[in-house]
Amino acid sequence: MRIIPVALIPGDGIGPEVVAEAQRVLDQVARMSGRFRFQYRSFDWSCQYYLAHGKMMPDDGLKILQDFEAIFLGAVGFPPVPDHVSLWGLLLPIRREFDQYVNLRPVKLLRGIESPLREVAPGEIDFIVIRENTEGEYSNSGGRLRQGTPQEVVVQNAVFTRYGTERVIRYAFERAVHSRQHVTSATKSNGLNFSMPFWDEVFRSVGQAYPQVKQELYHIDALAAYFVTRPKSFDVVVASNLFGDILTDLGGAITGGIGIAPSANINPEKRYPSMFEPVHGSAPDIAGRGIANPIGQIWTGALMLEHFGLMAEAELLIDAIEATLLDGVKTPDLGGRHTTRDVTDHIIQRLTAWE
Ligand code: ATP
Ligand code: MG
């Protein structure tokens, strides 16, 4: 049996509530599988930790995390602490230090979830968005000249490297090879006349090694519209940091919203731990009331299983989530009247029934 060391960072607000529930479900999956066990160590790094210590994590935090194979994060954020503190004090350092250059989000309409789009049935929206996670438009390069004056000029640079662009596009092709052999790239080479022609060039060049894979490029504006008008036509979508940011939120919106959406920050070479976190934040408005939807965190756990090659286990878990939704066991954000615990209990029951 494989023992996989996992660092838990439950964080703030509903983070600890949903992480505890996801752990219960993952333990049940591990029992049924017999092939692996997650060995957890929990860290209280959070905005509460920040208020007590003046930093989000200890100085040797990254060094500590290095010894784990994965980081399972709830959410960080607490209204009195500005957002940039949790971002720059915890999330970004982890993503950078561990070279998590792929941000992956499934855009999949689960059975039992209604899409705001008419005329799509479950199973018809099922693709992934690969977002470049380290460079591009979010480069922290630029500046303001003659600030506050009528002559003010502001520059925000985007930085694309060949190394960074090639590796994320190659990852997208590798995913497509094990999926439905189709990669769609988001571009805007008509308006952004340095970065995007380069992105397209790299896309075509990497794509030459994958002649069996269908390859398409769309301008980001058209692609966003296609997410709405023909979401059935995608398999793997690859995008730069900014375009991916926008597309992943749109993808979440057409597949049932923030309470269920999972995400992963991946170092594909597995030289460093990858980080798995739901799309939602700490949701202070509903924290402590026992009504947070645990599915975002639990589905995130399924992505972690996939990362370790535990495909059958991940599939089993998704099946149990769908069965639970079809049984109508839902939290208020999905129009239901069940609690966080009801949903988890039901998922575990469904799993147990298949044992
Ligand atoms: P952050 O700034 O931490 O990224 P945010 O404040 O932009 O997050 P969330 O904390 O995700 O956003 O909350 C947005 C809204 O969605 C809130 O009304 C919150 O209650 C709701 N929400 C978020 N996650 C869940 C969940 N798991 N279950 C139910 N409702 C949720
Ligand atoms: Mg917030």
Question: Which atom of ligand 1 is closest in space to residue 13's alpha carbon?
Answer: 10
Q: What pLDDT score does 159 carry?
A: 97
Nearest Cα residue to atom 3 of ligand 1: 281
**Per-residue pLDDT tens for 208-235?**
999 999 999 999 999 999 999 999 999 9
The pLDDT of residue 121: 85
The ligand placed nearest to the CA atom of residue 340 is: 1
Per-residue pLDDT band at 347 (split at 50, 70, 90): very high
**Which is it for strands 2-11 and 70-75: parallel, antiparallel or unpaired?**
parallel
Counting ligands in written order, the one closest to the CA of 76 is: 1
CA of 81 to the centre of ligand 2 (A): 10
* pLDDT reading at 139 higher than 90: no
Identify the CATH assignment for 126-253 out of 3.30.450.20, 3.40.50.740, 3.40.718.10, 3.30.1360.120. 3.40.718.10
Question: Average pLDDT, whole number, for the chain?
Answer: 96
Domains 1-110+259-355 and 126-253 share a fold: yes
Instruction: Give the separation between CA 168 and CA 55, rounded to whole angstroms.
Output: 32
Residue with CA at minimum distance from ligand 1 atom 9: 281
Atom of ligand 1 nearest to the CA of 294: 27
Q: What average pLDDT does the segment 119-138 reach?
A: 93
Q: Do strands 126-132 and 102-108 pair parallel, antiparallel, or not at all (unpaired)?
A: antiparallel
* Dist. CA 74 → ligand 2 center (Å): 13
Q: How far is CA 257 from CA 262, 333, 342, in A?
A: 11, 9, 20
Structure pTM? 0.95
| Ligand 1 atom nearest 260 alpha carbon | 27
Q: Whose CA is nearest to atom 17 of ligand 1?
A: 283
Query: Domain coordinates of the chain in residue numbers?
Result: 1-110+259-355, 126-253
Provide ipTM, 2 decimals.
Answer: 0.94
Number of the ligand closest to the Cα of 86: 1
CA of 171 to the centre of ligand 2 (A): 30
Q: For ligand 1, which residues put their CB under 6 angstroms from it? A: 14, 75, 77, 83, 258-259, 280-283, 285-286, 292-293, 296, 331, 333
Tokens 């092939």 correspond to what residue?
A: 35
Instruction: For residue 145, give the amino acid letter.
Output: L
So what's the pLDDT on residue 227?
A: 97
Q: Which ligand is nearest to the CA of 281?
A: 1
**Tell me, what's the pLDDT at 119?**
84
- Taking the centre of ligand 1 as the mean of its atom positions, its distance from the CA of residue 28, in whole angstroms, is 27
Residue located nearest, by CA, to atom 25 of ligand 1: 259
Residue of 280, 291, 321, 337 to mutate, ligand 1, most atoms within 8 A of C-beta = 280
CATH 1.10.10.10 fits 1-110+259-355, yes or no: no
Q: Are strands 126-132 and 153-156 parallel, antiparallel or unpaired?
A: unpaired
Buried b (16+ CB within 10 A) or exposed e, 198-237: bbeebbeebbeebeebebebbbbeebeeebeeebeebbbb
Alpha carbon of 71 to ligand 2 centroid (Å): 21
Q: Report residue 310's pLDDT band, with 50, 70 and 90 as the boundaries.
A: very high
What pLDDT band is residue 51 in, cutting at 50, 70 and 90?
A: very high
Cα separation, 82 vs 79, whole angstroms: 7
Among all ligands shown, which has an atom nearest to the Cα of 13?
A: 1
The string of pLDDT tens digits covering residues 261-297 is 999 999 999 999 999 999 999 999 999 999 999 999 9
292 CA: nearest ligand 1 atom: 28
How buried is 179 (Cβ within 10 angstroms: 0-12 exposed, 13-18 middle, 19+ buried)?
A: middle
